[in-house]
């Protein structure tokens, strides 16, 4: 008998999330019994600080895995038993896997062992490899040093970026991210280097860079515009955006018009979902099928 997967998404304002249908369609294509439900803290009358307890309660009620999104990625950690190394380094969890160990059925914990993981960075790295194969990673400019920016920065270093320049409207966030991630043990001949740059310098830095990533919310519905003057992009650059609503942000449009190779935010969204699906089920996800499903939504 195949096992039943019941996955929850913990976050706020997630009624319109594409994750349930994205996961369920891939599971259906694989013939799995798999249900994906939102657990919206706003609807439940909970605060972000309750996310850890909500995660434990959900598992006690039968949830076999969880995704976690804004604003609960840090707060959920209090309810977990263990963290993967990358989730600990990023200080953020977007995926919780559950292992039941009957030998440890004690008290309220009932032997359920909840482990926090992070597929935002593995997802971005896979997206980069699949969507922009061979992209030059000599110097990369990253704008936005929040949750998505931290995951992207980690992924770029793992992928071999030699110089990563991070900017944020809140300069202290860029500085903190650079301090947290550097020095990084990269390939011996090319030690990775991360540094913070001020927002005003971004256009000049882009002129010297191979690629640029937007990890700010600018470009998403309700946040029109571009996070920097897009006229500095040339056909020499690649551009990645993490914003996926809409897929064709103003920045993506400008980059395409300039002749850049472009990775839209849908790639990261699909890849992180695929990585989570694989952690939940132990089965490979068909990423091109998931991307095709995503583009239909
Ligand atoms: P966040 O609030 O943690 O971080 C955003 C950062 O951008 C902040 O540090 C903020 O100071 C900075 N910022 C805002 N406007 C700026 C500007 N004009 N110039 C420079 N910096 C600016 O948010 P987050 O969770 O990192 O999410 C950012 C975006 O990434 C959202 O649109 C979100 O939907 C998207 N996202 C996409 C994926 C995906 O899978 N594609 C995953 C996570 C987040």
Per-residue pLDDT at 183 exceeds 70: no
Indicate which residue of 25, 73, 237, 291 is catalytic.
Answer: 73
Per-residue pLDDT at 121 exceeds 50: yes
How far is 143 from 200, CA to CA, in rounded Å? Answer: 11
Please indicate whether residue 253 is annotated as part of the active site. Answer: no
Tell me which of 217, 219, 228 to substitute to probe ligand 1's pocket, judged by most ligand atoms within 8 Å of the beta carbon: 217
Average pLDDT of the chain to the nearest whole number: 94
For ligand 1, whether the C-beta of 219 sits within 6 Å is no
How far is 85 from 100, CA to CA, in rounded Å? Answer: 21
Per-residue pLDDT at 190 exceeds 50: no
The secondary structure of residue 125, as a DSSP letter, is: H
For ligand 1, whether the C-beta of 264 sits within 6 Å is no
Omega within 30 of 0 (cis) for the link into 263: no
Residue minimizing CA distance to atom 31 of ligand 1: 217
Omega within 30 of 0 (cis) for the link into 246: yes
CA of 105 to the centre of ligand 1 (A): 40
Per-residue pLDDT at 111 exceeds 90: no
How many percent of the chain have pLDDT more than 90? 90
Tell me which CATH code domain 122-263 carries: 3.40.50.720
pLDDT number for residue 283: 97
The helix/strand/coil state of 64 is coil
Beta pairing class for 4-11 and 193-196: unpaired
Please tell me whether the interface predicted TM-score (ipTM) of this complex is above 0.95. yes
Tell me which of 16, 75, 131, 146 to substitute to probe ligand 1's pocket, judged by most ligand atoms within 8 Å of the beta carbon: 146
Q: What is the pLDDT of residues 249-275, one digit of tens each?
A: 999 999 999 999 999 999 999 999 999
Instruction: Please report which confidence band the pLDDT of residue 1 belongs to, taking 50, 70 and 90 as the band edges.
Output: very low
For ligand 1, whether the C-beta of 266 sits within 6 Å is no
Residues 69, 80: contact at Cβ < 8 Å?
no
CA of 229 to the centre of ligand 1 (A): 17
CA of 70 to the centre of ligand 1 (A): 11
pLDDT number for residue 193: 85
Q: What is the pLDDT of residues 275-295, one digit of tens each?
A: 999 999 999 999 999 999 999
For ligand 1, whether the C-beta of 244 sits within 6 Å is yes
How many percent of the chain have pLDDT more than 70? 93
Among the ranges given (38-52, 92-106, 128-142, 233-247), the one the predictor scored with the smallest mean pLDDT: 92-106
b/e map of 56-80 (b: 16 or more CB within 10 Å)? bebbeeebbbbbbbebbbbbbbebb
For ligand 1, whether the C-beta of 197 sits within 6 Å is no
How far is 215 from 54, CA to CA, in rounded Å? Answer: 28
Q: Do domains 4-117+269-296 and 122-263 have the same CATH topology?
A: yes
Residue minimizing CA distance to atom 14 of ligand 1: 216
Residue minimizing CA distance to atom 2 of ligand 1: 146
For ligand 1, whether the C-beta of 112 sits within 6 Å is no
Tell me which of 148, 262, 290 to substitute to probe ligand 1's pocket, judged by most ligand atoms within 8 Å of the beta carbon: 148
Tokens found for residue 187: 């390939």
pLDDT number for residue 60: 95
For ligand 1, whether the C-beta of 211 sits within 6 Å is no
Q: Looking at domain 4-117+269-296, which of 2.60.40.2470, 3.30.1490.20, 3.40.50.10860, 3.30.1300.10 is its CATH number?
A: 3.40.50.10860
What are the extents of the domains in the chain? Answer: 4-117+269-296, 122-263
Residue 37 bridge partners (DSSP): 8
CA of 213 to the centre of ligand 1 (A): 11
pLDDT number for residue 189: 46
Per-residue pLDDT at 104 exceeds 90: no
Instruction: Please report which confidence band the pLDDT of residue 100 belongs to, taking 50, 70 and 90 as the band edges.
Output: confident
């Amino acid at each position: 008998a195949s096992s039943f997967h019941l996955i929850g998404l913990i976050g706020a304002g997630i009624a319109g999330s594409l994750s349930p249908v994205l996961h369920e369609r891939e599971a259906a294509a694989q013939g799995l019994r798999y249900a994906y439900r939102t657990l919206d803290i706003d609807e439940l009358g909970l605060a972000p600080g309750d996310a850890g307890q909500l995660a434990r309660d959900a598992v006690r009620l039968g949830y076999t895995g969880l995704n976690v999104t804004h604003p609960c990625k840090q707060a959920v950690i209090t309810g977990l038993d263990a963290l993967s190394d990358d989730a600990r380094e990023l200080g953020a969890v977007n995926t919780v896997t559950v292992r039941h160990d009957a030998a440890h059925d004690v008290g309220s914990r009932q032997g359920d062992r909840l482990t926090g993981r992070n597929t935002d960075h593995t997802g971005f790295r896979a997206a980069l490899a699949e969507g922009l194969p061979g992209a030059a990673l000599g110097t990369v400019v990253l704008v936005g040093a929040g949750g998505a920016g931290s995951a992207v920065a980690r992924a770029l270093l793992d992928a071999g970026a030699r110089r990563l320049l991070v900017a944020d409207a809140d300069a202290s966030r860029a500085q903190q991210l650079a301090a947290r991630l550097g020095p990084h043990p990269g390939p011996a001949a090319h030690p990775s280097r991360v540094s913070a740059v001020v927002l005003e310098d971004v256009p000049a830095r882009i002129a010297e860079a191979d690629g640029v990533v937007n990890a700010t919310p600018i470009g998403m519905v309700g946040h029109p515009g571009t996070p920097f003057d897009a006229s500095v992009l040339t056909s020499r650059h690649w551009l990645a955006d993490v914003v996926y609503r809409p897929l064709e942000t103003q920045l993506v449009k400008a980059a395409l018009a300039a002749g850049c190779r472009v990775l839209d935010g849908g790639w990261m969204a699909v890849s992180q979902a695929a990585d989570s699906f694989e952690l939940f089920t132990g089965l490979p996800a068909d990423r091109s099928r998931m991307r095709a499903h995503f583009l239909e939504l």
